[in-house]
Structure 1
Amino acid sequence: MKNILIIDDEVNVALLLSKFLTRNGFSVSTASSGSLAFEHLKNQPFNLVLCDYRLEDTDGREILKKIKAEYPQTGVIIITGYSDIKMAVELIKLGAYDYITKPLYPDEILSTINKALEMQNALMDNATESDAALLRESKTQKKQIAAQDFVIGTSRASKELVHQIELVAPTNYSVIIVGESGTGKESVAKSIHMNSNRRDKPFIAMDCGSLTKELAGSEFFGHEKGSFTGALNLKIGHFEMANGGTLFLDEIANLSYDIQAALLRTVQERKVRRIGGSKEIDLDVRIIIATNENLQDAIRAGKFREDLYHRFNEFSINMPPLRERGKDIILIAEYFLALANAELGRKVVSFSPDVIESLINYRWPGNIRELKNVIRRAALLTEGEEVQAKALPLEISNYAKILSHESTPANYNIQPAPSLPPPPKHDLKNAAMEAEYQTILRVLQEVNFNKTKAAEILNIDRKTLYNKMKANNLDK
């Protein structure tokens, strides 16, 4: 029988955990403080310690350090709050096997404990203690990144995002998540699911951007064997797979109009029928959709059904681009650095001041996805403990210099921005056109007519920029 020590100064929590684990075949002891916990550890060996981070006489960090120093074979799992993810990653680096976030769920606790004990047995048989620490760190951090690709930061945008997640998660509202590519829309959808009463049910993600018109119906609704040429087996559709849980539809604007019509019927009736089948299956599915396009613009262009939009738009979340998250960029970079260390077996612990300045100043057109790749590359190229500017791609390390150089090159004389002829009518439409013209021209001049950089600064794609330049006779 495995021995587990619970350290928690909330007596009711400790009692409930103790009863639950005892029913599941463990020998359990409890301690309400750090000092009492180490009295237990002196008197008997424990396979695992389950420790709340915040205690009256100490905290989880100090207990973890002492256990790792005095009882290195004892595994430690930290119980932490939702907003302490960065701290949890730091604890893992210090040797914790894993962390569990509040509120506590029995299935998650039992699964994490069993995995910790399995890992502990395997490591004792096959690895040194240093190897064990690395393996624990790698396993846990990879699990975290699978569940969440953003770090809760201190910026206003991050706090507002967390507030919206906490607000909508307990409801059954359908949610539209709008944001640029790479901002972590799927991670937010997962976070909403995991903080809802559907957390124990499936979370099914579907990339609508990769679906062909021919395959979309089968992927959404499933099909019966023999229902069409090539239907060699029964297929369960994504709606049916997500029944009871959450269905996440990414890049929803890419669906064809007729598939949107079929989707609307399913959402309205809360029933699905497989292609070629006659039986209707009742659905209880929460739908979260994501897009990097303005769906209202798509409606006006006749690309997206207005009735479907209103079915989905019970609550909307706007994802902040990385460039608007200020110093959170460094928190996120540190998080990805910890993951890269686990993956590569490195011990890179910090960024140089030059690197920090470059990371904050760069505009990150690829957002969090781009930052993750940059940090992984930097960790691979760094031999010491501090990431230097030479480990960054040139477009990032030299971003400020390039922008400054291109705005005033020695052999290029920037002419004052010409104005459009005075509009015949001083109405809002003409005023807006004049303002747009002047803004686009000013930015183009600042970056020496580098259209890629201009599009980034203007927060539009290159195609849109080309169209606006042509409309304003700036392409010449």
Structure 2
Amino acid sequence: MMNILIVDDEINICTLLNKILTGAGYLVDTTLSGLAAVKMVKEKVYDLVFCDYRLRDKEKDGASLMEEIRGINPHTKVVIMTGYPDVRIAIRLIKEGAFDYLLKPFNRDQILALVKTMQGAAASGICEELPAIELAAPATAKAGKPVVVNRNLNYIYGESQVSKQLYEHIHLVAPTDYSIIITGETGVGKEAVARLVHVHSKRCDYPFVALDCGCLSDELASSELFGHEKGAFTGAINSLKGAFEQAQGGTLFLDEVTNLSYAVQVALLRVIQERVVRPVGSLKEIPVDIRLVVASNENLQEAALAGKFRQDLFFRLNEFSITVPPLRTRLQDLPLFIANFLKEIGEELAQPLPPFSHEAQECMYRHTWPGNIRELKNVVRRACLLAAGEPEIPVSALPPDLRGTAVLPEQEPVMPDALPENLKSAARQAEYQKIISVMKTVRYNKTKAAQLLNIDRKTLYNKLNMFNIEL
């Protein structure tokens, strides 16, 4: 059983976390003091410590406490909590060894999923405890090559509303054996969602096998899916287990399933109905017990209605559907993705990486990200290489289509179109002046301005457009 320590000078946070974690069966201690926490860590071995970043102790803050805890017990994982999100702090803390960076307020599902991710097991006690995971880039399915994916998973839990809704759906369906259709634009992370469903399922101790159907001919698709016997066709010099057999007991993920031909769709439907596969060239049927998850960047229902996909197969697969939102609708999560990629790429390059400058961050917030998370990772990778040795990653390290400049006005902008003297116009004038004042305070950083104004970035952009404020 895991031992967990909570360190926060707000007693309500300690009480909330204590209730969540003890309710899930964990052994929990709490303290309001960093100095007391050090003493407790010396006297008892903790698997995980939740620590507030801004402790009131004059001698200790979250960063220094984390360093001391890791010095006492290097195997103890530390999660830093904060109500003041800052991508630079997140990047620095992760570089210094924090297991994760948790933004307040949080909820029960986030906490339990984070703890289970650390254990490398399914959430809510569905699977037995496993050793703590190491953060690593997950395996990716390649065309025609099934990949058995380790259940260790580095997944970024976003804070945006659409992200929270996505995770709610995942945690709702994961413990079941429902077949799932995952849809979303190219690069949004459909395979990552499928893996997350698997590690939160009762099948988490069995294989996760991913197969990209995008480039498979009829002959190759049948062989890769169902296997073949030696000599079944020219070039079949050995027998091959298909993806269904490889995933026995676990989860089979078929990406770009709409690319399968009509004939293969018929064979796939039979396997789903009968729960047996017959390898190419064999008369023997092999029972299979798998959970099937499929994905497509097309709407499968529309494809079925248009005759591009078998309707009966669609109805068999559509026991539950998940739509992964595009990155442009979850820009609130951008700092978390960037911090994770900087850590990952820093490990690849074996060197510390600088944070993005405020101007570069602004460019990234303005971009529409047609390639979604995949495009973001490539942008970060390119920028890190170009900015090696720099204190910050400048705008010039971004691709041309992302570059932009935040021009700092030398003079106070003038309120457009004089308004009549009435209560409504006075309110608009006050709102205008407040926005200008905050923008000047944060040196025209829209992200910080939105935070100080307690509105989201989209609302701030709408206000700037309404008042014709150009920055």
Measured against the shorter chain, the TM-score band is 0.5 to 0.7
TM-aligned CA distance change 1:316 to 1:390, over 3 Å = same
Instruction: Tell me the CA shift for residue 161 of structure 1.
Output: 1.1
TM-aligned CA distance change 1:262 to 1:13, over 3 Å = same
Distance between the aligned counterparts of 1:189 and 1:76, measured in 2?
29
TM-aligned CA distance change 1:67 to 1:109, over 3 Å = farther
Match of 1:363 in 2: 368
Q: How does 1:205-224 map to 2 (within 5 A)?
A: 205-224=210-229
Distance between the aligned counterparts of 1:63 and 1:361, measured in 2?
32
Match of 1:75 in 2: 74
Match of 1:140 in 2: 135
Structure 1 counterpart of 2:281, one-letter code = G
TM-aligned CA distance change 1:227 to 1:391, over 3 Å = same
Tell me the SS of whatever aligns to 2:401: helix
Distance between the aligned counterparts of 2:197 and 2:90, measured in 1?
20
TM-aligned CA distance change 1:389 to 1:214, over 3 Å = same
Q: Specify which of 97, 106, 114 is matched with residue 101 of structure 1.
A: 114
Rg larger in structure = 1
| Correspondence 1:180 to 2:185 | yes
Instruction: Tell me the CA shift for residue 149 of structure 1.
Output: 7.5
Instruction: Tell me the CA shift for residue 287 of structure 1.
Output: 0.7
Instruction: Tell me the CA shift for residue 88 of structure 1.
Output: 8.9
* Paired residues of 2:357 and 2:393 also in contact (CA < 8 A): yes
Instruction: Tell me the CA shift for residue 42 of structure 1.
Output: 5.2
* Paired residues of 1:349 and 1:385 also in contact (CA < 8 A): yes
RMSD of Structure 2 on Structure 1 (CA): 4.1
Distance between the aligned counterparts of 2:195 and 2:255, measured in 1?
12
Distance between the aligned counterparts of 2:292 and 2:247, measured in 1?
9
| Correspondence 1:53 to 2:66 | no
Output the TM-score relative to the length of structure 2. Answer: 0.64
Distance between the aligned counterparts of 1:244 and 1:260, measured in 2?
22
Match of 1:379 in 2: 384
Q: Specify which of 157, 160, 165 is matched with residue 162 of structure 2.
A: 157
Structure 1 counterpart of 2:135, one-letter code = T
Distance between the aligned counterparts of 2:167 and 2:69, measured in 1?
38
Instruction: Tell me the CA shift for residue 398 of structure 1.
Output: 3.8
Instruction: Tell me the CA shift for residue 326 of structure 1.
Output: 2.6
Distance between the aligned counterparts of 1:287 and 1:399, measured in 2?
47
Distance between the aligned counterparts of 2:371 and 2:4, measured in 1?
43
Structure 2 counterpart of 1:206, one-letter code = L
Instruction: Tell me the CA shift for residue 364 of structure 1.
Output: 1.3
TM-aligned CA distance change 1:74 to 1:212, over 3 Å = same
Q: How does 1:28-427 map to 2 (within 5 A)?
A: 38-39=38-39, 50-53=47-50, 65-66=64-65, 68-69=67-68, 72=71, 74-78=73-77, 91-96=93-98, 101-103=114-116, 104=119, 105=121, 111-112=131-132, 140-142=135-137, 151-382=156-387, 383-398=389-404
More deviation in 276-285 or 243-252? 276-285
Distance between the aligned counterparts of 1:109 and 1:92, measured in 2?
24
> What per-residue deviation string (whole Å, max 9, x for no partner) do you get for residues 429-462 of structure 1?
xxxxxxxxxxxxxxxxxxxxxxxxxxxxxxxxxx
Tell me the SS of whatever aligns to 2:338: helix
Structure 1 counterpart of 2:266, one-letter code = A
Unaligned runs of 5+ in 2: 7-17, 102-112, 141-148, 408-471
Output the TM-score relative to the length of structure 1. Answer: 0.64
More deviation in 307-316 or 325-334? 325-334
Distance between the aligned counterparts of 2:115 and 2:42, measured in 1?
29
Distance between the aligned counterparts of 1:58 and 1:187, measured in 2?
35
Instruction: Tell me the CA shift for residue 320 of structure 1.
Output: 1.1
TM-aligned CA distance change 1:143 to 1:314, over 3 Å = closer
Distance between the aligned counterparts of 2:228 and 2:348, measured in 1?
41
Instruction: Tell me the CA shift for residue 108 of structure 1.
Output: 8.2
TM-aligned CA distance change 1:49 to 1:58, over 3 Å = farther
Unaligned runs of 5+ in 1: 19-29, 114-138, 402-476
* Paired residues of 1:149 and 1:184 also in contact (CA < 8 A): no
> What per-residue deviation string (whole Å, max 9, x for no partner) do you get for residues 119-175 of structure 1?
xxxxxxxxxxxxxxxxxxxx6354699966763222222122111111111111111
> What per-residue deviation string (whole Å, max 9, x for no partner) do you get for residues 336-369 of structure 1?
1222222223433432222122111111111110
Instruction: Tell me the CA shift for residue 239 of structure 1.
Output: 0.5
* Paired residues of 2:383 and 2:397 also in contact (CA < 8 A): yes
Distance between the aligned counterparts of 2:256 and 2:271, measured in 1?
19
Distance between the aligned counterparts of 1:248 and 1:291, measured in 2?
11
Match of 2:448 in 1: none
Tell me the SS of whatever aligns to 1:112: coil
Structure 2 counterpart of 1:156, one-letter code = Q
Distance between the aligned counterparts of 1:193 and 1:143, measured in 2?
13
More deviation in 340-349 or 203-212? 340-349
Structure 1 counterpart of 2:115, one-letter code = K
Instruction: Tell me the CA shift for residue 280 of structure 1.
Output: 2.2
Instruction: Tell me the CA shift for residue 38 of structure 1.
Output: 3.8
* Paired residues of 2:138 and 2:154 also in contact (CA < 8 A): no
Tell me the SS of whatever aligns to 2:325: coil
Structure 1 counterpart of 2:353, one-letter code = V
Instruction: Tell me the CA shift for residue 50 of structure 1.
Output: 1.8
